[in-house]
Amino acid sequence: MLKHKIERICNMPTLDLVPATSDDFRRLAERRLPRPLFDYIDGGAIDEETLRANSGAFRSVLLNQRVMRDVSMTDTRTELFGQAVAMPLALSPVGMAGMMARRAEVQAARAAEAANVPFCLSTVSICPLEEVASQTTQPFWFQLYMLKDRGHVSELLQRARNVGCRTLVFTVDLPIVGTRYRDVRNGMAGGLGLAGRLRAGLVEYASHPAWAVDVGLRGRPLVFGNIAEYVPNARTPAAFKSWLDAQLDPSVTWKDIEWIRSIWPGDLVIKGILNVADAISATDVGADAIIVSNHGGRQLDSVSPTLRVLPRIAEAIRGRATVLIDSGVRNGQDVLKAIALGASAAMIGRPWIWAVAGGGERGLRNLLSNFKQDLVTTMSLSGVQTVPEISASALAAPQP
């Protein structure tokens, strides 16, 4: 088995040039991470059809190049929830990010702050709210799951307020965890049994000594920082994950969102909307914004790519709430396409964790800089100078 592992590493494509794209950093992350961890962030549900379709939907949208227009002052700045940002982009919450790079959430928050774009911290981050706040100077967003123990939910919201969070992203598409076969195959979902997980872990982690030292040793404590006090006997991410899976509440309804709205005074964003009816329901219970998202294809396979449903949803709640989109965004051109189809901003998950895993905080700063330059170039060649000018006219007419 170890022989096969070494052969796979040796045969893996090399990346000798400076990484520039999300896919470049994905390849770096694959080289540097133990297979169970890479597959956890890279994989999707069932056959991963939706995972592939998300980015494919962006690729299928064509742009409308315009010429002889004054684009000497192209400006990507916009505003999200009262905050001036450098471009219409935000970093989505990524669970267990601190397992992919040493204190990854802190690195990502600092990179986002340097780029002047929002960062959203996951409930199941390795770094707790207080640690991220101590390493940044600007408010960040906080993402929340509905836990069965509402007392824990109230406490988490109070902690978020205490560190200055003003925007809450509430994820509604995870009443239960989707079936992810990659996690089953490599033991992340318990599919190998204890002995099998130990054997696979020894081979994988032994073949990634740099990760073992930088994250496994120097990145401690490797626990879910925001919920550690609720699971005092847990010592590993697997133990915390088991607790969290049991705490996810499949009985949650819009009534629970009304309760959240009643105790959260800041902006409330509902993440995980894929149809018009749910978008309207979200605004009816007081959401300030929604995120059109299918969880990056990690929950229910064979659902629509987010870009395909975005225009209908944006039209249905126009003027009632802000619309954002994630799942499949890979570069600055994708950001423009999303805005042209009705979003106010786009969000990225996998790209930022690939960048931090592959290149650390510096890698993510470079990736965000490239996103901005992509957006500037695309806006200029599409004949628009400012974000409010971006409309459907920036896209080519549909072809038969």
Catalytic (active-site) positions: 295
Length of the chain: 400
**Cα separation of the two ends of the chain:** 51
CA distances (Å), origin 210, targets 30, 152, 264, 387: 13, 36, 42, 42
Asked if residues 145 and 257 have their Cβ atoms less than 8 Å apart, the reply is no
| Whole-angstrom distance, CA of residue 76 vs CA of residue 55 | 22
DSSP symbol at 16: -
Asked if residues 143 and 116 have their Cβ atoms less than 8 Å apart, the reply is no
Asked if residues 223 and 238 have their Cβ atoms less than 8 Å apart, the reply is no
Phi-psi region of 360 (alpha: psi -120 to 50; beta: other; left: phi over 0): left
Q: Other CB atoms closer than 10 Å to residue 139's CB: what's the count? A: 19
Residue in the structure block whose two tokens are 């990179």: 111
